[in-house]
Structure 1
Amino acid sequence: MASVYRALDDETRRLVLDELSARDGQTLFEICSVLAVRHGLSLTRQAISQHLGVLEAAGLVVTERRGRTKLHFFDPAPLAEIARRWPTDSPRNPP
């Protein structure tokens, strides 16, 4: 679980997850392009690839190869596990 928190601690990685949650199954080129166009980030492909590696190690991104193309998918399961850890069904202001 600590790797999930570390992965989410970076603004660029959160933007990558935002973009993958909006449109899953993107290539590295597509992710780099959307980050540059929508968010004004001019990072190298290598830098984005390293961010994707951190997200993948945390279980937040899974990849699939289709021929020579590597697609990236958002996996919300680690976030759901965090949410299950602290249930929110109790009252906010007990009497």
Structure 2
Amino acid sequence: GGGTGTNGQSLTDGIVVDVSRHMNQIIEIDVEARRVRVQAGVVKDQLNAALKPHGLFFAPELSTSNRATIGGMISTDASGQGSCQYGKTRHHVLELDT
């Protein structure tokens, strides 16, 4: 992720892998199916900027959305403002490929 977790999720004695430089592509936007394929380093605001012209957005709203990566959001099941209405991150993930 982008190191934006407020509960110390990015602090570890192990290995930290930063994917934001090379795995930051939005691969596909399928407007009809209302789904996207992205790489783990895509930042939430980057994704929402690409979705906005189609009247779509990726929830929940985070205070760190300008630097929080989709991979980090998935690993922490990020939630925030709007989570009661739109759900947590896990409610918006259909499939993971590792």
Normalised by the length of structure 1, the TM-score is: 0.26
Structure with the bigger percentage of helix: 1
Normalised by the length of structure 2, the TM-score is: 0.26
Higher relative CO (CA 8 A, sep ≥ 6), structure 1 or 2? 1
Larger-gyration structure (1/2): 1
